[in-house]
């Protein structure tokens, strides 16, 4: 893996660095459009440092940037997917519990494109993507010691979740509580979390999203009941779940009012078309 990662960064070369500089610039530009919105505190602080061209090491747990990439959707593009997710994620969320959430979001989006069985997504995250991410961090040589110190929590918590749902083998059968209504889900999601605020961190936002996807299947209303209507950081969990659900099912069963008058719709569609062209 180490050899492959070195070859990857050699291949990306100037183009890779230009991409990261472009993303950093876009983060800064996007902060000008936050009036009436609520960006996370780590995003605000991280973007401040990007804007002022400062190196920073703010080691806090926050919800990872939800940048679900379909730029690298194929199984043989895993290295590129993880490399870009790691570096774009830790621009604003340098703690591993944060930027690994960006890896999880991008990975699950690629799995949705691949039509990979959803019961294998969590296992793929900790067995395939996380080791690659760790090697990338070591190879890049930035904040290696701090990252190594705090690395274990993310993977340990995901293993705990897979055991809880009977997915440690990637097959199932899925294990659900006998009653799993709104009140029970709120308590369950708190147990996923770092400090009782469900979906706040990079590990549990994609975890709750996956839990919702597994439980809802192709039912949009049920997905929203599980991913969007809970007492935690529900916008973060809903956007990850909805991204993956849309890649799987499109707008089938989604009320037209949920997508007919989207802000920046033209820009979103243009971006999607360009990503599709690049990935093919």
* Annotated binding residues for Mg(2+): 233, 235-236
For residue 124, give the nearest of 188, 72, 169 by alpha carbon.
Answer: 169
- Residue 4 burial (CB count, 10 A): 11
**Residue 173, preceding bond cis, omega within 30 degrees?**
yes
Query: Which residues make Cβ contacts (< 8 Å) with residue 239, sequence separation at least 6?
Result: 66
For residue 58, give the nearest of 48, 66, 46 by alpha carbon.
Answer: 46
Reduced to 3 states (helix: H, G, I; strand: E, B; else coil), residue 175 is coil
On the CB side of 10, how many CA atoms lie within 13 Å of its CA?
6
Token pair of 267, please? 């820009």
Show binding-site residues: 233, 235-236
């Amino acid at each position: 893996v180490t050899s492959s990662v070195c070859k990857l960064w050699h291949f990306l070369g100037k183009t890779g660095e230009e991409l990261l500089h472009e993303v950093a610039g876009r983060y800064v530009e996007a902060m000008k459009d936050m009036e009436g919105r609520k960006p996370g505190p780590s995003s605000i602080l991280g973007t401040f440092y990007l804007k002022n061209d400062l190196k920073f090491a703010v080691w806090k747990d926050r919800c990872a940037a939800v940048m679900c990439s379909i730029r690298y959707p194929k199984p043989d593009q895993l290295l590129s997917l993880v490399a870009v997710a790691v570096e774009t994620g830790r621009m604003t969320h340098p703690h591993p519990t944060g930027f690994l959430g960006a890896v999880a979001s991008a990975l699950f989006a690629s799995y949705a494109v691949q039509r990979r069985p959803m019961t294998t997504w969590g296992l793929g995250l900790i067995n395939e993507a996380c080791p690659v991410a760790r090697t990338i961090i070591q190879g890049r040589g930035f904040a290696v010691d701090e990252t190594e110190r705090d690395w274990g929590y993310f993977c340990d918590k995901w293993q705990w979740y897979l055991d809880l749902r009977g997915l440690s083998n990637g097959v199932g059968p899925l294990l659900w509580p006998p009653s799993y209504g709104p009140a029970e889900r709120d308590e369950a999601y708190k147990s996923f979390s770092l400090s009782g605020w469900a979906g706040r961190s990079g590990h549990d936002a994609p975890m709750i999203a996956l839990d919702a996807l597994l439980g809802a299947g192709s039912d949009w209303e049920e997905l929203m009941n599980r991913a969007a209507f809970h007492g935690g950081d529900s916008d973060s969990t809903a956007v990850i779940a909805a991204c993956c659900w849309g890649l799987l099912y499109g707008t089938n069963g989604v009320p037209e009012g949920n997508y007919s008058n989207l802000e920046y719709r033209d820009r979103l569609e243009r971006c999607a078309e360009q990503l599709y062209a690049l990935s093919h």
